[in-house]
Structure 1
């Protein structure tokens, strides 16, 4: 039985649905299952590549006290952190989310006259997917993590439905031109190859769709980004005993790198900068006065294809 969403992440053949929780590739015989409500599309050849990263990442997140056993905790995100442990992080997410909806998604939806089809890349516990599905949008939440506290397994806590999918950015199991918006949810900087990741995002994006890079660090100078990575790895080694450098992620963006990607992939970028508060706005000035490296800037980096269809 054919279905209209999933393709094989290896060969891109449309998958056959053999059962409600199982699809199979007729080309290479790969089988993919839905386990505990999460579709598992991580390719066998990729599992070893990500095993250490997932283990280290989950270890750090547990140490930080991420997640909860309360459904209310998840349902109130990003507007309220009932745990009280990461309120500053969620204040940033709240402001980014409000700008995303008002300045990007509402404007994208208006000429379409229908609900949006959105891919939430780096969905984590699914908070953004829940909020967007509450607005009536059809949302696919993609992440590597599937645990119930901080990964896709948290889907069960929400009252609004979306489709949780374990997959990697560069091998999405989603048909061509499916999405109106592809949102990198504080996750683009984990990519090991920005160009390849964006090519895959463009493949699943409709001709008039938008790519949104949300809450990834941007620097004017690459040296500042490299210094940030060094500081983070040293901090992780001291606190957790490992550097958390198992993936060869690009880790940060610069305006020069974004221009390079725009030229290579025929994109045009628009930068939308939320106001995160006066203290946040003064960070570059204070860093300069004290001789510290420049702090990261967080934009909503919105991209569209320049190519005519």
Structure 2
């Protein structure tokens, strides 16, 4: 039976014209399990929390976690320099938009991947960390439904192939001409054929990081620090009042608006949040949708705080 809080969240989604999955869990409190529906009694709010969904750039949380673990283990030097050339650049923010070659450290690649969701930085970091390691990390952390199907370059190559484009310029020309049904048939929207997970598994991942259980405490602290420096604030962060610290990671594809993060209150309360919504419109910039995500997150957290 759906709770009053969950019903309110569904109403928020409906007003914004989206369907959504949400999972919010109190990272510290246990209430004996009454009414939570989760083994162990973790206090939660769940709306379609176990539905397999595309997570897009949210996979970068797992990527930088593995990078941080390798740094702490002495397997990687975070100061190692990487030359980023034109052949490395993918579309998006950060060094992806540089006109000239740039030299940055591995540590700065992690920062760019998290702060502005830099696809080029994430792709280069994935090459150094090892793409085959991430599925093993997900399994180690108890995330059996988290599927990693390559990195940003693999996604771009899939998108080009699905529309019959040879270059990103071809894609930019062809994509706007496609009917919505053709767009939604692309593999990047199919959880079975691209990187995907569930809202519940993503909040589990965040909980492990915030409790220093996803690796050495130093590695978990690195990830928390990078997530706190994300520059995009119109989704989860916009929903919470001043004084609440929100660290998060967004994910965006046409019609998909995603974010996962942790809201930390001045009284010490900590809440892992995952909100993934699908809009009928394929636009990537929808401030109304972003704000609805923040409203839903706050409604869930305040419902937990009110008991």
Q: TM-score over 0.5 for the alignment?
A: no
> Per residue, is there more strand in 1 or in 2?
1
Between 1 and 2, higher relative CO (CA 8 Å, sep ≥ 6) is seen in 2
TM-score by structure 1 length?
0.25
TM-score by structure 2 length?
0.26
